[in-house]
Structures are given as C-alpha cells and as structure tokens.
Chains A and B, each alone.
Chain A
C-alpha cells in the first residue's frame, strides 16, 4: 500500500454500500461445497449489477452492491443480484444461503481459495484461516473527509451491540448449538489484529498510527486490521463489519438503512464527543449481544445506565426517526423496529427451524430456500 492510498477519498455524504459473504452449499446434504471459482466464473458471463468476489475459502462467495444514496435502490439491486446468483448456482447444482455460520461443516474440510493473499493468510494464521469460514455483512457509509470518518467510527462503536443483536444468525457451529445468538464474532476475536480502532481523534493521528504499525512490520495494509469498525480511505467510507450475514438480502438492506440513519444522526447532530468510556464497556456489551441478542444488557457509557439491547434499539430508532425520514428509509426502519418489538432474530428463526425439522441438513436447506427467494418469510 502506498501512502497515497491512505489519502481519504471524500465521498458524497452518507452513501451506502453493502458486502455480503454467503455460504455455497451442495444440494445433496447441504454441507458447504467448494465451487466458488465455477460460480464466480459463471456469474461473470451473466449480466448482473454489483460485483461477485472470492473469499478466504472455496466455500464462500462475496456479493458487493454498488454505491447507493438510499435504501430503496439498495434493496432492489440486492434482490436483482440475489436472483442472478441463485440462478447461476442452480445451474451448477449448488445452493446459496445466508447466516453467519454454517451449522455443521467441519472446518478442517475447508480449502483456501487459491490466491496469493488468501494462501498467505493460511501461512500466517494456520487453522484460524480455515475457521474463518464464517459469513459477515459489511456496511459502508460515505464520509466527507477523514476526520469525519474517525469521529463516526468512534461514535458507531456504542451501537455495535445493536448491529450484533439485529443481525445475529449463527447459533450453530460444528454440529452443535453454541448457546450464542451470534457465535461468529468469537471466531473473529481470535485474530490478533481484531478489536477496535485506537482512540485517535483526527485523520492525521490515524495516518500516523498506521505508519507506525507499518514501520514496525505489524501490518502491510489497512486490510490487515480486522476491526469491528474501520475507516476505508480508498472508498471514503466507514465500514461496519460486525454483522452476521442475515438470512435474506431484504434484511441485509434494512440493517444498512439503520447504519445510514445512525450515521446521519451522528454526523449532523454530533450528539457527543468520542469517549474512552465507550471502549471500557465495549467488550462486555458486545459479549452480551453475541450471547443473548436482543435480551442482552447494554451499559451506556454516557449515562452509565443499564438497559436491554432491545430497549436501547427501540429508543435509538425514535431518536433517528427524523433522519430516516430524510433519507427515505422511514418505512424500512419501522419494519426493523416491528421485528425488534416482537423479539425477532434470524438466530431465533434458525433455532425454531431446527426444533421443527430436527436435522441440521434440513435447517440449511430451509435457510437456502429462504435466501434464494424460494420461500417467503420474515425479512
């Protein structure tokens, strides 16, 4: 990475982009398949919006949306992209599913995607690289400059438990119920460069920090930081990376709308200055959301009051409602809020499915039918 890549490319305020990591399945027993290269190759021949890219193992594929000003066009594009991926997958006798973890695959069966970068990750991280076959959603939100990106990164940190609880969809791993709503983040935590951005206040300070880490040979590029939230200078965005991939693209778009609404509220109103206290409670709050989802408890750093993640989301939705309206995402956030009130989570959906069909193979089949748009259920 050259220094010019650390220059913050300003983007039109509050634009949105989504990346979705998805599970590639065989249609026989719904275990993970290894056909990423063929699927990507076939999709290249079909015209589709956005982009489709490989991820660390051959059982994963990443969908990228293009840049959107609002929720409406984002959800439409994701649906079109979803249909294209579903159709190509079926031609190869594959299935695609959302969800933050595959419920029963064996990590040692996974194969690293044959690119230099991914092979190098295997060399550096050993088995963690294969265990990284977990599936997340990243939401990019555009920032006018680097200082704003640093501010927004710190401010969004307080809402990480919201993002986790709203997207939680990884209750099963390696054939067992983990008891977590989102077990996926535990896999991320194993990496030495995971966690949070240091408490820098300006883009200048951030650049100095990065140069120091690079000078010491700890990182080579921004990609080496697996932070929950990180600025992405070449896109001119802040990237929120804590989401499990939801079970549907519709829900992925709702989550993106929530980040956009929050970002508008935070950048326009600047309600607080960044606080170290947020990071004091950060890991506790994040754990609570991973473990218990909406029912987890959350300690607010600014008021030092404890509430449930569910209550905190509902009050936040009220606070940002005017901003959602301004962004044309009012109905979307109402839909998200209605789910929060009834306690809906994708993790709950997965557990419910298992209780009904009593076989994890069938659970994944239902997950794939849901993602591919073959059944209509809760967004």
Chain B
C-alpha cells in the first residue's frame, strides 16, 4: 500500500466531526420541523439522540467528549450574550423583577429538595439535583426567542430570569460541592477551598475579560467589524482560560457578559450579535446535548423525572405568578413567563458532568435523577417557550398586506 493513502479506521478528526454534526443537525432539524411542526432545536436534539450512544451509536461517549469543546464554545457564546442582557439598572428600577427571580429560585430549590427527599433520595443528591433544577436553559430561551425574532416584556423578562436563576443555580451547586467533597472524605482544604476557588476564580476571570474587552473596544474605536472579531476572540480565549485554570466556563462567561455590559460606563463596547455564526454553534450544541443523553436514562429516571419536572414547574410558577403582576406587565404575561422558564438543557448537563469528572460514582447517581428530566425537557422546553412567546404576541408574525 502506498503510504500517502489514509489508514482506516482513522481516529476522530475534529473538523470532520464538526462538519458532520452540523450537517446532521441541519438536515435532521429540517426533517423534524417539516414532519412535526416543532421548533428546529427539538429536531437537533432528536438527531443527537438518534446518533448517540443510546441510538445508532455513531456518536459514542468518546466522540461526545471530543465534541464537548464545541458545546462549551456554543454555551459560552450564549451565556455571554445572556449576561449582556442582564441589566442591573433594570433590577434596581423594577425591584419586583429581582424579587421574582429570587423567589422562584428559592421555591424551586426547596420544593424540589423536599419532594426528592420524600421520595427517599438521599439529602445530598436531592440538594444537588434541586440546585441544578433552579436553572432555566438560557440557550433554549435565547435561541427560540431569536428564531421567532421575539421582542417584548415576556421575552426580556424570561431571559433576565433565566440569567439570574442560572447564576443562582451555579453558585448553589458549587457551594454544595463542599458537601460532595466531604461525602468522599476529601481533605478539608479541598472541601472549603475548591468551591471558593471556582466561584471567585471564575468571576475574577470574567472581570478581567470584561475589563480587557472594554479597553480594547475603546482603543479600536467604533467599528462594528473590529468589535465583533475582538469580542468573539475574547469569548473563545476566556473559555480556554477557564479550562486552563480548571475554572467554570459557565460562570466565567456569564460574569464576562454581565460585567462587560454593566461596568462599561462610557459605552465603549458595541452591541454584540453573533448572528449566523451563533446559529451554527447552536446546531452543534443541541445535537451533542441530545447525543449525550440516552433513552435508557429516561427509563431509569422514570416517574422520578416526571415528579421532578412537575414540581419544578409548580415551584417556578408559584414564584412568577405571585410577584409578576407588581411589575406592571399586562395581565396574562405572567402565565406565559411560567411556561418560558421550563426548559433545561446543556447547562444542566454540563453541571452534572462537572460532578462526574470529580466523583464518577456520584455523577452517575445524580445523572439518573436529573438527566431523565433534562431529556424530557430538551424536547418539551423549546415547544413551551415557542408557544409562550407566540401566545404573548411577541413573535415577529408575518403580517403582509395582500399584493
């Protein structure tokens, strides 16, 4: 055999993998949308499930691990964008929105914890699962809103609530890590310092990134192209740095987004819109999230998953319904807001994976509780958000006069 010919089977090739995931997602998404008339991302997840370890096995655990880099890139982009939407001056002016965020997060945690322990899940697992349940998938809400070109109070409030509950969820999960370390009899230094390192370190990384981005923006001047490339490169570099220092990509990128918006007093940094580039990563994000889940998990979770989802929905709805009216939004908006907060997705998977990397045994047991719920919500969440934003009248409807 001549040596210039490729040898088979070759090992995974990142570019081929990326292209394949994109193509599979785009084709699958379109097929699912045409047949089932549901949002594109449901199709991406279904294709992921089909190709994943639980389906045809094309994307096995090893490949999913390889492809997880793309997921983090996509998630980083989304969290940055979401962070930039979190407007702290708004929370000061509409304290009821801030109160809603805190109340729905607290209710979600305590109700989930209560119900899970009643179902004889041991307290530490119940607590971590409940903490993960606080978060609403920022990716699903943002992507569906962008697909519909939705704009309005329900959209903006859903995005802000998702941003806040994601931060709270992440912080609580990280603090609970102390308990997990303790459970596995780690040194007390690790018990105390690891959560602190993650929280402070990731926030500090986000802070440094935002300061650098703003300074660079000032130096570059108001050029949309230059700002786009600079911001994108800062996002990618921050994700890389988070890896380098074993920090949290999620928290670092959220902090980068929030601080670059709220500390930029001179408005140096121009609005960042990842546009079609962002859509490309979204496809990969959902295909890989789908592939990382298996139907076996659904069976394992079974009724627990259903109880988890219902409890979470009830808790969030209680929080939202009791306070939203004080914000002065139109009647009916609160109900749509409850629906818009249902999705769980890559962020939750990523938090489960975080614990798995530390303690595989703990991660596997946690996955059995959380991931079955995530799987159901990966499919139902986008439909709920799509319905809520349309029903709220905030989707950009096609209104054309007759020719």
Residue of A nearest to B270 (CB): A359
State whether A29 and B271 are in contact (beta carbons under 8 Å apart), knowing that A122-B399, A357-B222 are contacts in the complex. yes
Residues 323-357 of B, flagged 1 when their CB comes within 8 A of A and 0 if not, give 00001111001000000000000000000000000
Can you identify 10 A-B contacts, CB atoms within 8 angstroms?
A28-B271, A29-B271, A33-B152, A34-B151, A35-B152, A91-B94, A91-B327, A122-B401, A358-B221, A359-B270
Alpha-carbon distance A302/B84, docked complex (angstroms) = 60
Residues 270-293 of B, flagged 1 when their CB comes within 8 A of A and 0 if not, give 110000000000000000000000
Alpha-carbon distance A364/B149, docked complex (angstroms) = 21
Name the prevailing secondary structure of the A interface residues. Answer: helix
State whether A26 and B401 are in contact (beta carbons under 8 Å apart), knowing that A41-B330, A109-B396 are contacts in the complex. no
Instruction: Please tell me if B397 contacts chain A, counting CB pairs below 8 Å.
Output: yes
The answer to whether A28 and B152 touch across the interface, beta carbons within 8 angstroms, is no
The answer to whether A111 and B153 touch across the interface, beta carbons within 8 angstroms, is no
Instruction: Please tell me if A126 contacts chain B, counting CB pairs below 8 Å.
Output: yes
Instruction: Please tell me if B394 contacts chain A, counting CB pairs below 8 Å.
Output: yes
Alpha-carbon distance A41/B402, docked complex (angstroms) = 31
Chain B residues positioned under 8 Å from A28 (CB to CB) = 84-85, 87, 271
Query: What distance in Å separates the Cβ of A34 from its nearest Cβ neighbour in chain B?
Result: 5
Alpha-carbon distance A37/B153, docked complex (angstroms) = 10
Counting chain B residues whose Cβ lies within 8 A of the other chain, the interface size class is 20 to 34
Residues 18-39 of A, flagged 1 when their CB comes within 8 A of B and 0 if not, give 0000000011110001110110
State whether A362 and B152 are in contact (beta carbons under 8 Å apart), knowing that A93-B94, A123-B401 are contacts in the complex. no
The answer to whether B222 and A35 touch across the interface, beta carbons within 8 angstroms, is no
The answer to whether B270 and A92 touch across the interface, beta carbons within 8 angstroms, is no
The answer to whether A88 and B328 touch across the interface, beta carbons within 8 angstroms, is yes
Residue of A nearest to B223 (CB): A358
Chain A residues positioned under 8 Å from B221 (CB to CB) = 358
Instruction: Please tell me if A45 contacts chain B, counting CB pairs below 8 Å.
Output: yes
The answer to whether B399 and A91 touch across the interface, beta carbons within 8 angstroms, is no
Query: What distance in Å separates the Cβ of B164 from its nearest Cβ neighbour in chain A?
Result: 14
Residues on A lying within 8 angstroms of B by beta carbon are 26-29, 33-35, 37-38, 41-42, 45, 88, 90-93, 109, 111-112, 114, 122-123, 125-127, 129, 357-359, 361-362, 365
Query: What distance in Å separates the Cβ of B331 from its nearest Cβ neighbour in chain A?
Result: 9
Query: What distance in Å separates the Cβ of A117 from its nearest Cβ neighbour in chain B?
Result: 15
Most B CB contacts (10 A, CB to CB) among A34, A92, A129, A358 go to A92
Alpha-carbon distance A193/B328, docked complex (angstroms) = 39
Query: What distance in Å separates the Cβ of A257 from its nearest Cβ neighbour in chain B?
Result: 34
Alpha-carbon distance A122/B152, docked complex (angstroms) = 22
Instruction: Please tell me if B90 contacts chain A, counting CB pairs below 8 Å.
Output: yes
Alpha-carbon distance A359/B268, docked complex (angstroms) = 10
Alpha-carbon distance A35/B271, docked complex (angstroms) = 20
The answer to whether A35 and B153 touch across the interface, beta carbons within 8 angstroms, is yes
Shortest Cβ-Cβ A-B pairs, 9 listed: A29-B271, A358-B222, A359-B222, A42-B328, A93-B90, A126-B401, A90-B93, A91-B94, A34-B151
Alpha-carbon distance A362/B270, docked complex (angstroms) = 9
* A37, A93, A361, A365: the one within 8 Å of B156 (CB): A93
Query: What distance in Å separates the Cβ of B148 from its nearest Cβ neighbour in chain A?
Result: 12
- With contacts defined as CB atoms under 8 Å apart, how many contacts are there between chain A and chain B in the complex? 71
Instruction: Please tell me if B267 contacts chain A, counting CB pairs below 8 Å.
Output: yes
State whether A361 and B151 are in contact (beta carbons under 8 Å apart), knowing that A42-B328, A90-B93 are contacts in the complex. no
Alpha-carbon distance A357/B328, docked complex (angstroms) = 34
Known: A41-B330, A92-B329. 12 other contacts (CB 8 A): A27-B87, A27-B90, A28-B85, A29-B271, A38-B153, A41-B328, A111-B397, A122-B399, A126-B401, A127-B401, A357-B222, A358-B222
Residue of A nearest to B84 (CB): A28
Alpha-carbon distance A42/B401, docked complex (angstroms) = 31
Alpha-carbon distance A35/B221, docked complex (angstroms) = 32
Alpha-carbon distance A29/B93, docked complex (angstroms) = 19
Chain B residues positioned under 8 Å from A37 (CB to CB) = 330
Residues 296-340 of B, flagged 1 when their CB comes within 8 A of A and 0 if not, give 000000000000000000000000000000011110010000000
Residue of B nearest to A359 (CB): B222
Residue of B nearest to A88 (CB): B328
Alpha-carbon distance A42/B330, docked complex (angstroms) = 8
* B152, B270, B327: the one within 8 Å of A34 (CB): B152
Residue of A nearest to B395 (CB): A111
Chain B residues positioned under 8 Å from A126 (CB to CB) = 401
The answer to whether B153 and A92 touch across the interface, beta carbons within 8 angstroms, is yes
Residue of B nearest to A42 (CB): B328
